[in-house]
Amino acid sequence: MGITTWGKKHRAERPVKKKTLTRGKIDKRSVEWQFIQAWMKDLVVDLGGAEGLTTVQRTVINTAARTKLYVDKLDEFLITKHSMVDQALTRWALEQRTKMAMNLTRNLERLGKRGKNLKAP
Protein backbone atom coordinates (compact mmCIF):
# COMPACT_ATOMS: atom_id res chain seq x y z
CA MET A 1 0.00 0.00 0.00
CA GLY A 2 1.28 3.47 -0.89
CA ILE A 3 1.51 6.54 1.30
CA THR A 4 -1.46 8.87 1.07
CA THR A 5 -1.44 12.55 1.78
CA TRP A 6 -4.77 13.93 2.83
CA GLY A 7 -5.60 17.53 2.04
CA LYS A 8 -2.39 18.23 0.15
CA LYS A 9 -2.28 18.83 -3.55
CA HIS A 10 0.90 18.72 -5.47
CA ARG A 11 1.78 21.96 -7.25
CA ALA A 12 2.58 20.04 -10.42
CA GLU A 13 -1.08 19.00 -10.69
CA ARG A 14 -2.45 22.50 -11.10
CA PRO A 15 -1.11 25.69 -12.62
CA VAL A 16 -0.49 28.49 -10.17
CA LYS A 17 -1.92 31.82 -11.23
CA LYS A 18 0.08 34.77 -9.98
CA LYS A 19 -2.06 37.31 -8.19
CA THR A 20 -0.68 40.70 -7.32
CA LEU A 21 -3.82 42.09 -5.68
CA THR A 22 -5.35 39.69 -3.17
CA ARG A 23 -7.57 40.66 -0.24
CA GLY A 24 -5.96 44.03 0.34
CA LYS A 25 -2.40 42.73 0.19
CA ILE A 26 -0.09 43.67 -2.66
CA ASP A 27 2.90 41.53 -3.52
CA LYS A 28 5.94 43.70 -2.81
CA ARG A 29 7.75 42.32 -5.85
CA SER A 30 5.01 43.40 -8.26
CA VAL A 31 4.83 46.32 -10.65
CA GLU A 32 1.80 47.55 -8.71
CA TRP A 33 3.81 47.83 -5.48
CA GLN A 34 6.58 49.71 -7.27
CA PHE A 35 3.96 52.05 -8.76
CA ILE A 36 2.45 52.75 -5.33
CA GLN A 37 5.84 53.42 -3.77
CA ALA A 38 6.92 55.79 -6.55
CA TRP A 39 3.60 57.65 -6.50
CA MET A 40 3.68 58.00 -2.72
CA LYS A 41 7.27 59.28 -2.84
CA ASP A 42 6.29 61.91 -5.43
CA LEU A 43 3.29 62.95 -3.37
CA VAL A 44 5.40 63.31 -0.22
CA VAL A 45 7.89 65.47 -2.13
CA ASP A 46 5.00 67.63 -3.42
CA LEU A 47 3.82 68.07 0.17
CA GLY A 48 7.19 69.38 1.30
CA GLY A 49 8.97 66.25 2.49
CA ALA A 50 8.42 63.43 4.95
CA GLU A 51 9.70 65.35 7.98
CA GLY A 52 6.64 67.55 8.37
CA LEU A 53 3.97 64.91 7.79
CA THR A 54 1.66 63.80 10.57
CA THR A 55 0.47 60.24 11.08
CA VAL A 56 -2.94 61.19 9.69
CA GLN A 57 -1.36 62.65 6.56
CA ARG A 58 0.73 59.49 6.06
CA THR A 59 -2.43 57.39 6.37
CA VAL A 60 -4.25 59.56 3.83
CA ILE A 61 -1.27 59.26 1.45
CA ASN A 62 -1.25 55.47 1.81
CA THR A 63 -5.00 55.27 1.23
CA ALA A 64 -4.79 57.63 -1.75
CA ALA A 65 -2.02 55.55 -3.33
CA ARG A 66 -4.01 52.33 -3.05
CA THR A 67 -7.13 54.07 -4.33
CA LYS A 68 -5.18 55.41 -7.32
CA LEU A 69 -3.96 51.90 -8.08
CA TYR A 70 -7.51 50.52 -7.95
CA VAL A 71 -8.81 53.34 -10.15
CA ASP A 72 -6.05 52.64 -12.68
CA LYS A 73 -6.85 48.91 -12.62
CA LEU A 74 -10.55 49.62 -13.20
CA ASP A 75 -9.63 51.99 -16.03
CA GLU A 76 -7.53 49.24 -17.58
CA PHE A 77 -10.45 46.80 -17.25
CA LEU A 78 -12.93 49.23 -18.80
CA ILE A 79 -10.61 50.23 -21.65
CA THR A 80 -9.71 46.66 -22.60
CA LYS A 81 -13.33 45.50 -22.47
CA HIS A 82 -13.91 44.59 -26.12
CA SER A 83 -17.61 43.95 -25.92
CA MET A 84 -20.46 45.05 -23.76
CA VAL A 85 -21.87 41.53 -23.40
CA ASP A 86 -21.86 41.72 -19.63
CA GLN A 87 -23.29 45.20 -19.29
CA ALA A 88 -24.08 44.74 -15.61
CA LEU A 89 -20.43 44.06 -14.79
CA THR A 90 -19.30 46.99 -16.91
CA ARG A 91 -21.83 49.30 -15.25
CA TRP A 92 -20.75 48.09 -11.80
CA ALA A 93 -17.05 48.63 -12.64
CA LEU A 94 -17.78 52.13 -13.96
CA GLU A 95 -19.76 53.04 -10.82
CA GLN A 96 -16.98 51.75 -8.55
CA ARG A 97 -14.36 53.60 -10.59
CA THR A 98 -16.33 56.84 -10.29
CA LYS A 99 -16.75 56.46 -6.51
CA MET A 100 -13.07 55.66 -6.03
CA ALA A 101 -11.98 58.58 -8.22
CA MET A 102 -14.15 60.94 -6.18
CA ASN A 103 -12.66 59.55 -2.97
CA LEU A 104 -9.14 59.95 -4.37
CA THR A 105 -9.87 63.55 -5.33
CA ARG A 106 -11.25 64.28 -1.86
CA ASN A 107 -8.17 62.79 -0.19
CA LEU A 108 -5.80 64.75 -2.43
CA GLU A 109 -7.73 67.95 -1.68
CA ARG A 110 -7.33 67.27 2.05
CA LEU A 111 -3.60 66.90 1.59
CA GLY A 112 -3.36 69.86 -0.79
CA LYS A 113 -4.69 72.28 1.80
CA ARG A 114 -1.56 71.63 3.85
CA GLY A 115 0.82 71.10 0.93
CA LYS A 116 3.40 73.53 -0.37
CA ASN A 117 3.07 74.55 -4.01
CA LEU A 118 0.83 71.59 -4.84
CA LYS A 119 -0.26 72.14 -8.43
CA ALA A 120 -2.45 70.07 -10.71
CA PRO A 121 -0.67 68.64 -13.78
Going from the first residue of the chain to its last (121 residues), give the mean pLDDT of each consecutive group of 10, the final group possibly shorter: 49 50 63 88 89 89 91 88 74 91 91 58 46
pLDDT at 67: 93
**Best CA proximity match to 64, nearest among 80, 42, 94:** 42
Q: Which helix (H) or strand (E) holds 21?
A: strand 21-22
**Best CA proximity match to 75, nearest among 101, 44, 106, 38:** 101
Model pLDDT for residues 72-83, shown as the tens digit of each residue: 989 988 888 766
CA distance 26 to 14: 23
φ, ψ dihedrals at 21, nearest 5° = -120, 105
- pTM exceeds 0.85, yes or no: no
Domain coordinates in residue numbering, the chain: 23-112
